[in-house]
Amino acid sequence: MEGKHYFCAMRGIEEEIIRILTEEGAAFIRFTDITELPPEQNRNLPRAVSFGITLTPSYVQKVKETPDYVQMIIAQNQIEEDEFHLKELRAGELADRIAELLVLEGYQAYSLSDNNVIATHAWDAENLRTLLPQKTVAVLAGAGWVGKNNLLITPAYGPALTLGTVLTDAPLHIAGTQPMESKCGACRICTDICPAGAIYGKAWERHIPREERIDIHRCTTCLKCLVHCPYTRKYLKCRE
């Protein structure tokens, strides 16, 4: 009987997480096993919630059509209203909220929101690196692969998403997912379009260090490699 109540309570939490994220328009929500990660990355927590919130096609189109979009919004002091910026914040807030919900239910939980990562000293500002990139968890969850542009690429939305992640010991129901292989193939669009020359053009494979694929210190976050990726184009085309 106790086991049955426990099962029902767990299903209730899972449903609540899915409800919260679905209401926010999450494009994918996955529960995944992260036990294969080292303890400094998974914090001895065995599972994770990984989700993605899409950028709107109109926003992607606007960035694409504006030659120096990011410089423009910086010059016009409009960063605070930028959709990418707002959705990154929103994904972080949602991850924090889900972590709080799990803690209230008596589980351990750790949000990979920017605020929490910085507050818990898991952000290396000198090397622009976190202890556990959110895309690493999304890859384990089978949501996509890491593109030559170092962004998570999903088959349906390309890299046009912001990510949220929560690590936990809650016994979430884990679907049998397999990490995807890179589907970048011979594509060089992001490599050729990057104005900073930051992308080396080497296809991602798990365990190949980031430094062999991209010079992150050169990246100006101009978003060109995001909006011009053919998987982003496919997403826009599907929404037309």
196 binds ligand SF4 (CB under 6 A): yes
Q: Which of residues 130-159 bind ligand SF4 (CB under 6 A)?
A: 147-149, 153
d(CA 48, CA 32): 5
Sign of CA dihedral 194, 26, 121, 42: negative
Alpha-carbon distances, residue 231 vs 3, 41, 155, 157, 191 (angstroms)? 44, 29, 7, 6, 15
Angle subtended at Cα 10 by Cα 9 and Cα 16, rounded to the nearest 5 degrees: 90
Q: Near ligand SF4 by CB under 6 A, which window of 36-44, 82-90, 110-118, 183-191? A: 183-191
Element (H, E) at 117: helix 114-119
187 binds ligand SF4 (CB under 6 A): yes
Q: Near ligand SF4 by CB under 6 A, which window of 32-40, 71-79, 125-133, 191-199? A: 191-199
Alpha-carbon distances, residue 7 vs 2, 25, 50, 171, 173 (angstroms)? 9, 27, 21, 9, 10
Minimum CB separation of residue 88 from ligand SF4 in Å reads 14
Q: Near ligand SF4 by CB under 6 A, which window of 33-41, 58-66, 76-84, 218-226? A: 218-226
Nearer Cβ to ligand SF4 (94/184): 184
Minimum CB separation of residue 223 from ligand SF4 in Å reads 6
71 binds ligand SF4 (CB under 6 A): no
Minimum CB separation of residue 126 from ligand SF4 in Å reads 18
Q: Near ligand SF4 by CB under 6 A, which window of 36-44, 89-97, 98-106, 220-228? A: 220-228
87 binds ligand SF4 (CB under 6 A): no
Residue whose tokens read 């120096």: 68
Residues that bind ligand SF4 (CB under 6 A): 147-149, 153, 184, 187, 189-190, 194, 196, 198-199, 219-225, 229-231
